[in-house]
Amino acid sequence: MGASLMIVEDDDRVRGVLRLAMEGEGYEVAEASQAEHALEHLRSHGAPDVMIVDLMLGGMDGFTCIREVRRDYDVPIIVVSARDNTHDVVAALEVGADDYVTKPFEIKEITARMRALRRRAGLAAVRDDASPEEAPVTADEVLLDADPRAPLVLSPRAGTVRRGSERLHLTITEFRLLCELAADPGHVLSRGTLLERVWDRGYFGDERIVDVHVRRLRTKIERDPSNPRIVVTVRSLGYRIDAQR
């Protein structure tokens, strides 16, 4: 059985082109012309392996659709939109999109982005049956915050991040980003390096996608996201993680 894809696009022509191309790539495609119908499909059939979402939809817009999906699902989401200004790109990423492609687009670009997202999903697969119970830090784990009341622990092999007994909900991209930074604590990684490592070798996207995902990550792991102590910005160079092993 092929991977599943949901296309949320109100332009019949664009949706049809994407469907034919993705079925040719082996995807089982479901489609919706409205965000409301897409959300109903997810509630009835569960999340697909990946979603493509337009921003300019009739009724509920794409931003709201992505935000609603993110409440319950970790599915990788690619925005495909004619809106190409910085504000829209950043806004889409901040509500939960993993990648952004502007129209007009080449099908090969979409398929390349989807393959990269699915590879990252496979590498950062989270064990849904993992217990949230508090446990001591092992050699395979990284202590990111030594707060004795609620230590922050990254478990790369288990695919989890927990603060005390609470398991934090990170998207696939956020988790991969944290793992890359934590693998080399105390050293600065440039945006270009992170883009290549997290978004896949040969990725040709915009470096500002890194900044947006760092901001999203901080809201989940920092005690004070406005004054980050774990993921630190090194001006003009990139990001560094200050962790305790």
- CATH at 226: 1.10.10.10
Label the pairing between strands 231-234 and 238-241. Answer: antiparallel
How do residues 139-162 score in pLDDT, each as one tens digit? 578 899 988 889 999 998 888 999
**What does the alpha-carbon distance between residue 233 and residue 70 come to, in Å, rounded to a whole number?**
26
- Name which residue leads in pLDDT, 32 or 169: 32
Longest dimension (CA), the chain: 57
Residues 6+ apart with CB under 8 A from 122: none
Q: Does residue 70 register a pLDDT over 70? A: yes
| End position of a domain, from candidates 70, 96, 123 | 123
pLDDT band at 137 (very low <50, low <70, confident <90, very high): very low
Examine the domain organization and report whether 99 and 154 are in the same domain. no
200: left (phi over 0), alpha (psi -120 to 50) or beta: left
The pLDDT of residue 129: 38
9: in domain = yes
Q: Which amino acid is at 203?
A: Y
The pLDDT of residue 12: 95
| End position of a domain, from candidates 79, 94, 123 | 123
Q: Supply 36's token pair.
A: 């409301």
132: in domain = no
107: in domain = yes
Angle between helices 208-221 and 191-198 in degrees, nearest 10 = 80
| Average confidence score pLDDT of the chain | 85
Examine the domain organization and report whether 73 and 152 are in the same domain. no
Domain of residue 118, CATH code? 3.40.50.2300
pLDDT band at 130 (very low <50, low <70, confident <90, very high): very low
**What does the alpha-carbon distance between residue 187 and residue 160 come to, in Å, rounded to a whole number?**
23
Domain with 80, as residue range(s), is 4-123
Q: How many domains does the chain have?
A: 2
How do residues 160-207 score in pLDDT, each as one tens digit? 999 999 999 888 888 989 999 999 889 999 999 998 888 765 555 677
Q: Alpha helices of 124-198 — where are they, by DSSP H?
A: 172-182, 191-198
